[in-house]
Chain A
Amino acid sequence: MESLDLHQISVRELNQYLHQELPGKGITRLEILNPDGVHSIAAGMNVAVDIDIMGHGGYYLGGMNKYANITVHGSVGWGVAENMMSGSVRVKGFASESAGASGHGGTLIIEGDASLRCGISMKGIDIVVGGDIGNLSGFMGQAGRMVVCGNAGDGLGDSLYEAVIYVRGTVKSLGADARFEPMGDEDYAAVAELLARAGFSHDPREFKRVASAKSLYNWNADANQEY
């Protein structure tokens, strides 16, 4: 298996290799050593390859990913898999703020906790978090699903559009226009499928559905800016 060491090459050299030389080489799996919290590791991946990152990543790891399946054997900084299009990113440790921000597709799995603003402005990505998520998660989520096996912080799902959030634990507070809704057969199926994808063995019946009440969809002159 090919091994790339960030003690030997810069992240720019690494990403130039991943973007320009890797496609067409027929390599299906590679590992990146000594990430040491460097930013933008394996951002913009446009080739189907399994990447193992052996340590803690920095900001924007796997951002804009299209085809790669990336596993981080550690924790990551802000904006992991931000604006991901497809493929997958799995974080074995915790993820800092804005995990999966504005993601259009693919699957982001965080085995530990995710910090504040997880899934902010998500646009179709699926996010599964093994632990808790921080305040203001799911803010303005437009499409996609987020499954949280632990607890959610304050302001969950503030100003949601069509994204749906499933929470197994407690929700400290809901954001403006977010509400609990009854779970339907489709919800149980969706949670089961996402848990299976993540390899978590919880019972889907333990999850609650949070979605938009849609009261912000149209301007209400009588609301007096109070939501």
Chain B
Amino acid sequence: MCGIVGLLVKNPNMRDSIGELMMPMLIGMTERGPDSAGMAIFGAPVAKGELKFSLYAPSMEFNWQGLAHDFDAHLGSSVKISTQGNHAILISHLEAGTVRTWIKQHYPGVHVLSVGQSIDVYKDTGLPADVAARYDFSGMRGTHLVGHTRMATESAVTPAHAHPFTAGEDWCLVHNGSLSNPNSLRRKLQHEGILFETDNDTEAACRFLEWRMREGDDLHTSLQKGFEELDGFFTLLMGTKDQLALVRDPFACKPAVVAEHDDYVAIASEFRSLAKLPDVKNAKIYEPMPEELYIWKV
């Protein structure tokens, strides 16, 4: 079991409080996922020609300024870095591949959680309330976000196995359910030169869909191929730089509820995570159908 939440604010005045609005949604999913939690938030993009990288270090006392200093010294390119304990957002002019390779070579303990112009990712083990407090989720600002609370059923409880998973740029996915063929999917993608960081089933789905889109499929076509390739149960919630997308497996084995309001669209595994949203009484509440793709744009 896991809990998923998503929030897209249509009212620009609510962008500064999106983190605060999301908090009861995430906390409401604690029973569905008490072992880890995470969030991907999409905010104002970095300047053209820049990319931002969400990084995770194994220690809350990690020397991020040291990393930034080494980065400047080795690559001759200055970076901006903002830190939040063991997480940091690094902004660079260099290409994603160059930055990833450098981090892997010089700081093998540091994980790149996301790359893009708009996306920040935070994830860690612990109760959702503790993880949210650790990284000040309530103070986050942006246009849309996806969150996840995890109850691990198929792979280890580590920060790397927590959701959201990302692939490519400005793309993330959270998953409630389990896949029965992640290993064959992973082998297939490895033949395409795609690298994996964990043995988690969701990572396989995430990289599969991102690979299809990189190959030219639109989201709809890639998910159609996903239905053919992914064997198992899933409610998937995906985020791109300007949209949220939701899909459920053909048997709708895992739940989802949507609240559409003039000011926002909110998605959660269960209504109890939507109950505290402002004026939710006047939102249109419905359950998404199996095998249908729902997309909401910023």
Interface residues of A (CB under 8 A from B): 36-39, 55-56, 58-59, 75, 77-78, 93-94, 96-97, 115-116, 134-136
**Between-chain CB contacts (< 8 Å), 16 pairs:** A37-B28, A37-B272, A37-B275, A39-B272, A56-B275, A56-B285, A58-B270, A58-B271, A77-B255, A78-B255, A96-B255, A115-B252, A116-B290, A134-B290, A135-B251, A136-B251
Contact B271–A37 (Cβ < 8 Å): yes
- The smallest C-beta distance from A99 to any residue of chain B, in angstroms, reads 12
Interface of B is mostly: loop
- The smallest C-beta distance from A215 to any residue of chain B, in angstroms, reads 24
Contact B275–A36 (Cβ < 8 Å): yes
With A56-B285, A58-B271, A75-B285 known as contacts, the answer to whether A97 contacts B290 (CB < 8 A) is no
B24 nearest in chain A by CB position: A36
Distance, CA A134 to CA B290, complexed state (A): 9
Q: Which residue from B252, B271, B286 sits with its C-beta under 8 Å from A97?
A: B252
**Chain B interface: which size bin?**
10 to 19
**B112 interface residue (CB < 8 Å to A):** no
- The smallest C-beta distance from B12 to any residue of chain A, in angstroms, reads 28
Q: Which residue from A39, A58, A96, A135 sits with its C-beta under 8 Å from B290?
A: A135
Residues of A within 8 A of B272 (CB): 36-39, 58
**B231 interface residue (CB < 8 Å to A):** no
Most buried by A among B28, B271, B285, B287: B271
Q: Which residue from B255, B271, B273, B290 sits with its C-beta under 8 Å from A75?
A: B271
Contact B252–A134 (Cβ < 8 Å): yes
Contact B252–A77 (Cβ < 8 Å): no
Distance, CA A59 to CA B272, complexed state (A): 10
**B274 interface residue (CB < 8 Å to A):** yes
A116 nearest in chain B by CB position: B252
C-beta contact mask, B249-291 vs A, less than 8 Å → 1, else 0?
A: 0011001010000000000001111111000000001110110
B275 nearest in chain A by CB position: A36
Residues of B within 8 A of A55 (CB): 275
Residues of B within 8 A of A38 (CB): 272
Contact A97–B255 (Cβ < 8 Å): yes
